[in-house]
């Protein structure tokens, strides 16, 4: 007899709590091998192909493409050592990929399939047993689920929307949508909630709970019943009475439900509804990190205008030299970017002001000064804002920095950055001038201590050598953590950067 094993989303590392399903790589009924990738997921760090540690026939998939799945939630079930049953695995024979225990809590001593051992962080064949909900006798077992409601986060207004939909459907005699409901375990813990729904004929699979991770609460069921009763009263056809009724005292006014109190009049145009965009993936992680930065870091910003004419001339001179004398050993084969020149200036400035290449450990009440410069740079992609990190930037020259910036930018554009490419930064360079703006007060990338912002380089009137001239001017801004240094250190850093921008020959002193 085939044994059904359940494979859960493993811990993908770096403190991630979930992932979004991008693309399924297998279908239900397909035979998979040990360690074969079964699903492509997108975390807050990168795109990852998740391999399954079991070989056999896929009997069920949990989660549609685009759904958010928390760590530890089931991904697929696999029937090993035999064909899968057409109606899906029996509810009492499903096993977890992490503990080998059956769904009813008993141990499967006769397990014939072992995991591969080639696993990601946080899952294997020897982890602690996971609690499984017992399937009530007489309740049909879920057959070949495609998506589990428990694995999809619920919205804050899920109770009202689902209750209204269930109530209207049942009160108006609309076709039952049970057949269209998503199969899989129903996110309900309390037996009282199940009994209340069963006594009133509510299908819990049609509801989205307002509790944690979509848990259906008693209040959700009661709200659905009230909505069903209200809709039934609205659609009930009045029947003519054979005898006139005796006038009665008027009934006391009832407090209308919030959904009815603000309902538009019949025939009036419906007001546009607000659009809710979930904060998940990269955008969710950046929201958490930036909020934490604003909450924990007492930041301050200083800025200065600099004449970047000589810096741009130096870059053009390097380009012309490479074009005119391509065979020269000094020509090089890479066109130097402005970002690389600014990064080289940053590393030189951090060598003079190491206080800004640090972080704060409040638990130990210490300032941690980092020996190496791992330079992050802000990159805007279709998936949101990311900050790739150039490792050991202080050891690289302009050519090496240009090449690494190009590699990481392309990886960010295609969504192939690894978690290592996005973590471990000690200082960030933010070139927001590419958006056509001059200045900004950037938010520090927690847990770093400073960020240098660079505006656009544009022609402006400037006093040069005692005369008014049109020069290439840029605005530089430095946001720093006031716990690691005072304004004098921050001002000295920014002034050094501005001097190098105005006179690139200053860098020759540190070569």
Positions marked catalytic = 482
Q: Three-class SS of residue 282?
A: helix
Q: What ranges make up the beta strands (E) of 423-493? A: 427-431, 450-454, 458-464, 467-481
**Rounded Cα gap, residues 6 and 18, in angstroms:** 18
> What are 31's strand-pairing partners?
57
- DSSP character at residue 386: E
Q: Three-class SS of residue 78?
A: strand
Token pair of 2, please?
């085939």
Query: DSSP states of 202-237 as a string?
Result: --GGG---SSGGGPPPHHHHHHHHHHHHHHHHHHPP
Q: Three-class SS of residue 288?
A: helix
Sign of the alpha-carbon dihedral angle for 424, 429, 432, 433: negative
**Rounded Cα gap, residues 106 and 112, in angstroms:** 16
- Which of 333, 421, 425, 411 minimizes the C-alpha distance to 370? 425
Q: What angle do CA 262, 268, 269 make, to 5 degrees?
A: 95
Q: Supply the Cα-derived Rg of the chain in whole angstroms.
A: 31
**Rounded Cα gap, residues 260 and 237, in angstroms:** 20
């Amino acid at each position: 007899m085939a044994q059904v094993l359940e494979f859960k989303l493993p811990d993908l590392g770096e403190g991630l709590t979930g992932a979004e399903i991008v693309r399924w790589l297998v279908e239900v009924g397909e035979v998979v091998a040990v360690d074969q990738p079964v699903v492509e997921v997108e975390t807050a760090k990168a795109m990852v192909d998740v391999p399954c540690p079991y070989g056999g026939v896929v009997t069920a998939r949990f989660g549609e493409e685009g759904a958010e799945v928390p760590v530890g939630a089931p991904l697929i079930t696999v029937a090993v050592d035999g064909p899968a049953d057409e109606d899906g695995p029996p509810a009492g024979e499903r096993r977890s990929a992490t503990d080998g225990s059956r769904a009813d809590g008993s141990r499967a001593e006769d397990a014939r399939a072992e995991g591969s051992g080639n696993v990601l962080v946080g899952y294997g064949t020897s982890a602690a047993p996971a609690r499984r909900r017992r399937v009530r006798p007489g309740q049909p077992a879920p057959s070949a689920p495609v998506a589990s409601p428990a694995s999809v986060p619920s919205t804050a207004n899920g109770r009202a929307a689902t209750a209204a939909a269930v109530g209207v459907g049942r009160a108006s005699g609309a076709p039952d949508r049970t057949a269209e409901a998503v199969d899989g375990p129903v996110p309900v813990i309390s037996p009282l909630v199940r009994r209340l729904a069963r006594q009133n004929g509510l299908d819990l699979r049609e509801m989205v709970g307002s509790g944690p991770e979509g848990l259906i609460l008693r209040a959700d069921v009661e709200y659905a019943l009230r909505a069903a009763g209200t809709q039934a009263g609205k659609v009930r056809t009045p029947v003519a009475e054979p005898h006139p009724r005796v006038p009665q005292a008027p009934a006391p006014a009832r407090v209308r439900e919030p959904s009815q109190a603000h309902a538009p009049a019949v025939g009036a145009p419906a007001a546009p509804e607000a659009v809710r965009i979930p904060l998940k993936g990269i955008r969710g992680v950046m929201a958490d990190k930036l909020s934490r930065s604003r909450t924990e870091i007492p930041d301050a910003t200083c800025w200065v205008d600099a004449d970047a004419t000589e810096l741009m001339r130096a870059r053009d001179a390097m380009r012309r030299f490479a074009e005119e004398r391509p065979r020269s050993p000094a020509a090089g084969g890479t066109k130097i970017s402005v970002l690389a020149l600014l990064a080289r200036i940053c590393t030189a400035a951090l060598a003079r002001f190491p206080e800004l290449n640090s972080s704060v450990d409040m638990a130990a009440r210490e300032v941690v000064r980092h020996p190496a410069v791992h330079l992050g740079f802000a990159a805007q992609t279709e998936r949101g804002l990311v900050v790739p990190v150039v490792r050991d930037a202080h050891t690289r020259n302009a050519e090496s920095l240009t090449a690494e910036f190009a590699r990481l930018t392309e990886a960010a554009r295609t969504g192939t950055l690894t978690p290592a490419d996005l973590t471990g930064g000690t200082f960030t360079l933010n070139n927001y001038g590419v958006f056509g703006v001059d200045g900004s007060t950037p938010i520090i990338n927690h847990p770093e201590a400073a960020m240098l912002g660079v505006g656009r380089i544009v022609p402006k009137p400037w006093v040069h050598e005692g005369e008014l001239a049109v020069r290439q001017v840029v605005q530089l801004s430095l946001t720093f953590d006031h716990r690691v240094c005072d304004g004098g250190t921050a001002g000295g850093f920014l002034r050094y950067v501005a001097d190098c921008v105005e006179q690139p020959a200053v860098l020759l002193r540190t070569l």
